[in-house]
Amino acid sequence: MFHLIDFHKIPPGGYYFHEDFEKDGRKKRKVFQTTPEAGTLAARITNFRKANSLPRADVMSALEDLESFTIARLPVGNRWTHDTEVPFTQLVAAAYGPNCRTCGFTSPPT
C-alpha cells in the first residue's frame, strides 16, 4: 500500500484538502487552504468534521484521508511516496513521536 515517505517532507503544492459533504440536501465542498504541516491541517479537518457532525471526525482519520488525498494528486513514481506494508499508525508514530499531541494522546510519564 502506498504511503507518504515522511509527513515532514512537503509535497509540491504543500498539504491541502477538499472535503465533499452534503448539507440540507445539497452537495458542498470545503476547501482547506495549503499549509506546510500535515498535522495542523489534519486538526483543522477534524474540527470542521466535528462541527458539522461528519464521519471520521478524529485526527488519525483526518490524517489518513489527507495522506490518501495527497497521494492521489501526486504523479505516479514520485519521490514523496513509497509502497510499504507498515501500518499507518506506525508511520504516524515514527513521524510525530509519542508526545506530538496531533491526535490528543501523550505517552504517560516514566
Split at pLDDT 50, 70, 90, the class of 67 is very high
Which residue, among 104, 101, 102, 109, has the nearest Cα to 42 in the 3D structure? 102
Q: Where are the beta strands (DSSP E) in the chain?
A: 2-4, 15-23, 26-35, 81-83
Is the full-model pTM beyond 0.85? no
**35-63 residue pLDDT tens:** 999 999 999 999 999 999 999 999 999 99
From CA 108, how far away is CA 99, in angstroms rounded? 9
